[in-house]
Structure 1
Amino acid sequence: MVSRIISNWQPYCIEENCIGIGSTRKVYRVDEFVIKVHLHPIGYKQSLNEIEIYEYMKARNVSDLLAEMVYVNEDICIQRYYENLELKNNQTYELNVVEDCRIPPKLKALLRELDQRFDSFDLKDSSNFGLDAEGHLVLIDFGMTKSLYETEWVPLAEAGKLPQIYFEKCRVCGIEKELRMYGQKDKDRRCYDCGKQ
């Protein structure tokens, strides 16, 4: 299955299969895998970081806490699929690493190591976690680093070249949800479901 996806991934990347979009990658589900399409070179750097981290943790027998990384090239990343955490009031939220009973000590230790060894960024955002078949948390998006965020992502977001996420009412469907906004001059208050990429 993976080799078939790698050799011909574009037909799988249709709106019916889309399960998420960030500022640098768009995610499509294909059976038990996801294809993360790199929308920007930063997305490719994130995927390279993810495969490096996954291989490092696999050698230390803690890769079960991370989404299995299968393949990366300049266009895409293939990863094992995990069910997304539910939104709260149509938005993601910050996990309370200290109090959340879904975060076992082993995962807390992994998050600390990712922060200290790999300069990982935004490890508490619920959108970066999925659930395995037993309902345990698995980190599915772990490639952004603090330095990559500060030196590359922030300047592009401030210039309106990469979207930032704002929680506002969509002008089309009228639902308060996360909107992708491109700099301060962007007045298009539509959500992704209503057509704004």
Structure 2
Amino acid sequence: MVTKIIANWQPYCTEENCIGIGSTRKVYRVNEYVIKKHLHPIGYKQSLYEIELYQYMKEHNAADLFAEMVYVNEEVCIQRYYENLELKNDQTYELNISEDVRISNRLRAILLELDRKFDSFDLKDSSNFGLTSDGELILIDYGMTKSLYEKEWVPLAEAGELPQIYFETCRICGIQKELRMYGKEDKDKRCYGCGKQ
């Protein structure tokens, strides 16, 4: 199946298959895999880092704590699918790393290593984790580093070229949820579901 997706991924990238969108990548589910389509060159850098980090963890017997990276090119990456964590009040949230019972001791140790040794960013954001069949957390989005965030993402977000996420009321559906906002001048308060990319 994955060979077929790699050879011809475009037909799978439909709104019906979309399961998430970030500032630099859009995610589509295809059976037990996801296609992360790069919306910006930073997304490609994230995917390259994910596959590099996954290979490192594989060599150090910790790959089972990360969603398997299968393939990367300039347009997409393909990764094993895991169910996303539920939103709380239509928004992501910060995990309590020390107390969340779904975080194994091994994953807790790896998160510390990612912070100290690998410059990893956003290690407490619920949107970066999925659930295994055993109900334990696994990293599904682990390509952003602190240096990439500070040196490249922040300047582009401040310039309005990349969206920042704000929890506000959508002017169309009237629900308070995460909105994609492009700089201080962006007044279009619509959610993704109401048509704002």
Deviations 1:125-170 (Å, cap 9, x if unpaired)?
0000000111111100000000000000000000000000000000
The CA deviation at 1:41 is 0.3
Partner of 1:106: 106
Partner of 1:171: 171
1:108 and 1:190 mapped to 2: Cα distance? Answer: 37
Partner of 2:135: 135
> TM-score, structure 2 length as denominator?
0.99
1:102 and 1:30 mapped to 2: Cα distance? Answer: 26
Partner of 2:81: 81
Give the counterpart letter for 1:2 in structure 2: V
Partner of 2:28: 28
How many positions carry a matched residue from both structures? 197
Partner of 1:72: 72
**Matched position secondary structure for 2:134:** coil
Partner of 1:2: 2
Deviations 1:102-125 (Å, cap 9, x if unpaired)?
112111111011112210000100
**In 1, are the aligned partners of 2:121 and 2:145 still within 8 Å (CA)?**
yes
Partner of 1:61: 61
The CA deviation at 1:93 is 0.1
Partner of 1:12: 12
Unaligned runs of 5+ in 2: none
1:176 and 1:80 mapped to 2: Cα distance? Answer: 31
Unaligned runs of 5+ in 1: none
**Matched position secondary structure for 2:147:** helix
Deviations 1:28-81 (Å, cap 9, x if unpaired)?
000000000000000000001100110001111111110000000100000000
The CA deviation at 1:190 is 0.3
Percent identical across equivalent pairs? 78
Partner of 2:189: 189
The CA deviation at 1:98 is 1.2
Partner of 2:147: 147
Partner of 1:48: 48
The CA deviation at 1:2 is 1.2
Give the counterpart letter for 1:157 in structure 2: A
1:185 and 1:77 mapped to 2: Cα distance? Answer: 32
Q: Over the residues paired in the alignment, what is the CA RMSD in angstroms?
A: 0.6
